[in-house]
Amino acid sequence: MKQIEKQGNKFKTLFLTFFKIGLFTFGGGYAMIPLIEYEIVERHKWIETKDILDIFAIAESTPGVIAINTATFVGYKVAGFWGSLLATLGVAIPSFVIISIISLFFVQFQNLEWVAYAFNGIRAGVIVLILGAVVKMGQKGQYNPLTIILLVLAFLLASFTQINVVFLILGGAIVGLVYQVLLKKNPANNNHEVKK
- pLDDT per residue, tens digit, the chain (196 aa), is 666 667 778 899 999 999 999 888 766 667 778 888 889 988 999 988 778 888 888 887 777 788 889 999 999 999 999 999 999 999 999 988 988 887 887 777 767 777 778 777 877 777 777 777 677 777 777 778 888 898 899 889 988 999 988 888 888 889 988 988 887 777 655 554 444 4
Contact predicate 31/133, CB 8 Å: yes
**pLDDT reported for residue 196:** 41
Other Cβ atoms closer than 10 A to 35: 18
Write the burial class of residue 21 (CB in 10 Å: 0-12 exposed, 13-18 middle, 19+ buried).
buried
- Which residue type, as a one-letter code, is found at position 164? N
Decide if 22 contacts 67 (C-beta within 8 A): yes
Tell me the pTM.
0.67
Q: What secondary structure does DSSP assign to 161-186, as a single string? A: S---HHHHHHHHHHHHHHHHHHHHH-
